[in-house]
Structure 1
């Protein structure tokens, strides 16, 4: 029965998995460890996380593979807190760590920005003598880099004796993430010199680094080498990177020309990148072109509507901005709320815009008002033009002063010693 469950190639087989589960329920085999684990795995990979959790909870016997599957499923679906909670639950049992589980939980730590928890996992890895496993080491490097502790990430990279392409990719991406474009290029060239074969992800990481450092000429050379020398077919993400750097440089017409010359049909990632550039450079005409394609390709993504509305607001075309927001209301779309995570004393604290649910809300807002006052004295003015046009200016400024990032930083300032490094991570 387990052989019929398409665990290795699950996509497109949800109906088949449900039918097999139904048969297993009728035949009384659904709670057999190998069957329930296989079904938990396929539901996790198909993002049917509630079905996966239900099967996991109903199973009387939970092998390590079942724990692996659900923790990985939570991580892949962005439910990082659930992944960490389940991992902690598993650690209370007699199960021992394995590389598959470690890479999943380190990925969850990286997504959540839970550096203290990641360090705790690192200590567990050392205690189990798993630090020399290349996949575990790569996951550690990725976690430290994404959580902002780049010195620890690079130290681990330098100590890795048997690096593979994924390890190099992780460090190159880490450089790009923190704006070290030239260092990323130097590392890429070193990787090639040592005989490592670059992958599609390698080139994506290098292009990403070029974007953040404004390296237009180098970006063109990298893209040309990827296509012509290494015969790697660009993905949507590669094309989006190319459009992004043109957009950052204000070359929007060139970006549009590049899109129209693409040998494949440009998707939402490419048009979305152009729309974002239109917001930066206040180009309403091109924004209309990009948004029209995006509304056709990805009509359920409310972010594109919000971006277009903001572009109209910047141009002070408030009737158009209002009409876009009205469309969002009519088709009943809702925007995923942006949130910011800050870890203090090992505990992640999550803030959303205008958040007043924290136990230290009064002190946080007092600190924020103090900082805002000092900024005003130095000439700072809030950019309120993208706020709703029918709101009073004072209220607009209040809306912009309670962004989740500002709340998180204010909380960090009142709960840590002077000179302490403050790290915040956004979900969007």
Structure 2
């Protein structure tokens, strides 16, 4: 328009600026600013308000603050723009201070004021503020506005105050699609996947899902490992013509990979005409999760050649893949490449991955040296990685060093005590193992109970250790006895070294026999056709005995068995695991 010689006025510029701000196109916004200066519209209150919003959203807060100061008599819209600007730049105290000034001026606030003030992007540490704002909104009658209640629901979900969020959601008389999305996403983010899916089904009677809705549901399916639900969601995406959306397709890639279908994930990835950095990260991470480090590295190289710049998450995904494939040299090269070629400062997670790479490969002393040379103080993830490696390689001396740091930094994490106890048990130092477990009991620390999910058809079945609550429990235990007999004939011996030390060896074998993953596999063998692939999902790391047992079961039954545990996928076939016993 301007290039064509057509005239413009202050209204034109004020109309263009919000679009530029939303896209966060700083250079384009600065050009509009220059036009305003040349044309003499730089003092127009509407243009200045648009510029305040633009610079705030582009993280140029000082410029926004300066421009706001040039407005002699700011109206409510001006105040709203600056309040929202402070909030989105994590300047919560400044936004609250300006809000107080607005109230003191006698100006009546509106829903936009409150939405701009609610700390949606940086809620942590602001629970009291959020509660105070909600009280203010209830008194002023603004809380019933859909955008306000949705913002509150979002913040409460991010603060893990899921009951407060649901209470507010239920009280909302006018629920928009954004309201439903906020609550569904909140359940997914808090690990309440089944509730998220249930609420999604309820929403379907009132609204058609949009890309935000389906990405939340696909995330829930991925967490749950529910492939049938994921396929149902995929069918819904096709019927709603949402397959062209890059975020939806990326979520589908992630879902299929996390539900065990790496081949389907790759097919979708290859079919995408447009890929962003998140798409590449999802596929690289998928290969890492399935233990295929070489393919992850190959894809990383393809990504660089495609012209997409890697992010910190990209490097974390590649390092994770190297860790689970024993690629030490490659991992060291990737970290060096990240720092010196791309200018990234490693985060604690990157350092933890590097310690994991060295530790899993048995280079424990080198891992400790790496920790000592870190330019930042090592946190729980770093020491946790070293302790996990000590468990694998039965190094009690370094395990003590790692655990001492962990108990000081994260004293309430039961997992570290369990790991240390298992290190001592593996070294047959049962008195030490007992003393560690006693600390857990004395401090009333709860260990996360192990459970395993298996889908038969579209029905999920969950088993716990020693579970006899299933309607087919008798048949399951009969199948398990038959399997154990055949496994014993094939040379299987129960691995009891990390079982409780104060019971007889025979009782230890019985304890290991009824682990949840064995029960889930036995049930799947009963319910599925001969030769059908079995997929199970364990919430904790699979134990050594169950890992060995699954190798034998895959050979005896001539089945492919896919196991997802807390760390990765294991693909068992003909008595061999894809991890090469390296996990």
- TM-score, normalization: structure 1? 0.97
Counterpart residue number, 2:154: 41
Structure 2 counterpart SS, 1:423: strand
- Pick aligned residue for 2:382 from 266, 270, 283: 270
Counterpart residue number, 2:521: 409
Counterpart residue number, 2:128: 15
Counterpart residue number, 2:569: none
Structure 2 counterpart SS, 1:425: strand
The question of 1:2 aligning with 2:115 is answered: yes
Counterpart CA distance in 2 for 1:7 and 1:184 is 35
Q: How many residues align?
A: 427
Greater Cα radius of gyration, structure 1 or 2: 2
Once the two structures are TM-superposed, the CA of residue 28 in structure 1 deviates from its matched residue by 4.2
Structure 1 counterpart SS, 2:531: coil
Counterpart residue number, 1:87: 200
Counterpart CA distance in 2 for 1:379 and 1:305 is 33
Structure 1 counterpart SS, 2:309: coil
The question of 1:240 aligning with 2:367 is answered: no
Counterpart CA distance in 1 for 2:473 and 2:173 is 43
Equivalences for residues 169-188 of structure 1 within 5 A: 169-188=281-300
Counterpart residue number, 1:352: 464
The question of 1:418 aligning with 2:530 is answered: yes
Once the two structures are TM-superposed, the CA of residue 385 in structure 1 deviates from its matched residue by 2.0
Higher mean alpha-carbon deviation, 225-234 vs 337-346, is at 337-346
Counterpart CA distance in 1 for 2:467 and 2:175 is 39
The question of 1:315 aligning with 2:403 is answered: no
Counterpart residue number, 1:108: 220
Counterpart CA distance in 2 for 1:268 and 1:8 is 26
Structure 2 counterpart SS, 1:417: coil
Once the two structures are TM-superposed, the CA of residue 253 in structure 1 deviates from its matched residue by 0.6
Once the two structures are superposed, residues 293-335 of structure 1 have per-residue CA deviations (whole angstroms, 9 ceiling, x without a partner) of: 0001111100111111111112222221111111111111001
Counterpart CA distance in 1 for 2:375 and 2:316 is 18
Higher mean alpha-carbon deviation, 151-160 vs 309-318, is at 309-318
Counterpart residue number, 2:440: 328
Counterpart CA distance in 2 for 1:206 and 1:3 is 38
Once the two structures are superposed, residues 232-286 of structure 1 have per-residue CA deviations (whole angstroms, 9 ceiling, x without a partner) of: 1111111111111111111111111111111111111111111011111111110
Equivalences for residues 55-134 of structure 1 within 5 A: 55-91=168-204, 93-134=205-246
The question of 1:387 aligning with 2:490 is answered: no
Counterpart CA distance in 1 for 2:304 and 2:145 is 49
Measured on the aligned residues, the alpha-carbon RMSD in Å equals 1.3
Counterpart residue number, 2:369: 257
Structure 2 counterpart SS, 1:424: strand
Counterpart CA distance in 2 for 1:158 and 1:286 is 44
Once the two structures are superposed, residues 334-389 of structure 1 have per-residue CA deviations (whole angstroms, 9 ceiling, x without a partner) of: 01112211111011211221222222111111111111111111221111122222
Once the two structures are superposed, residues 112-150 of structure 1 have per-residue CA deviations (whole angstroms, 9 ceiling, x without a partner) of: 011111111111111111101000000000001111112
Once the two structures are TM-superposed, the CA of residue 60 in structure 1 deviates from its matched residue by 2.2
Counterpart CA distance in 1 for 2:116 and 2:490 is 68
Once the two structures are TM-superposed, the CA of residue 231 in structure 1 deviates from its matched residue by 0.6
Once the two structures are superposed, residues 186-210 of structure 1 have per-residue CA deviations (whole angstroms, 9 ceiling, x without a partner) of: 1111111111101111111111111
Once the two structures are superposed, residues 145-171 of structure 1 have per-residue CA deviations (whole angstroms, 9 ceiling, x without a partner) of: 111112211111111001111111111
- Pick aligned residue for 1:54 from 167, 177, 180: 167
Once the two structures are superposed, residues 1-57 of structure 1 have per-residue CA deviations (whole angstroms, 9 ceiling, x without a partner) of: 333322232122111011112233344443332322221111011111111111112
Higher mean alpha-carbon deviation, 335-344 vs 130-139, is at 335-344
Counterpart residue number, 2:317: 205
Counterpart CA distance in 1 for 2:535 and 2:450 is 17
Counterpart residue number, 1:375: 487
Counterpart CA distance in 1 for 2:361 and 2:162 is 41
Counterpart residue number, 1:290: 402
Counterpart residue number, 2:59: none
Structure 1 counterpart SS, 2:155: helix
- Pick aligned residue for 2:302 from 190, 193, 205: 190
Counterpart residue number, 1:168: 280
Counterpart residue number, 1:217: 329
Counterpart CA distance in 2 for 1:390 and 1:184 is 44
Counterpart residue number, 2:41: none
- Structure with more relative contact order (C-alpha pairs < 8 Å, separation 6 or more): 1
Counterpart CA distance in 2 for 1:278 and 1:208 is 18
Once the two structures are TM-superposed, the CA of residue 82 in structure 1 deviates from its matched residue by 1.2
Gaps of 5+ in 2: 1-113, 541-583
Once the two structures are superposed, residues 72-102 of structure 1 have per-residue CA deviations (whole angstroms, 9 ceiling, x without a partner) of: 11111111111111111112x2201111111
Once the two structures are TM-superposed, the CA of residue 111 in structure 1 deviates from its matched residue by 0.7
Once the two structures are TM-superposed, the CA of residue 214 in structure 1 deviates from its matched residue by 1.3
Counterpart CA distance in 1 for 2:371 and 2:196 is 39
Counterpart CA distance in 2 for 1:230 and 1:140 is 29
Counterpart CA distance in 2 for 1:296 and 1:235 is 21
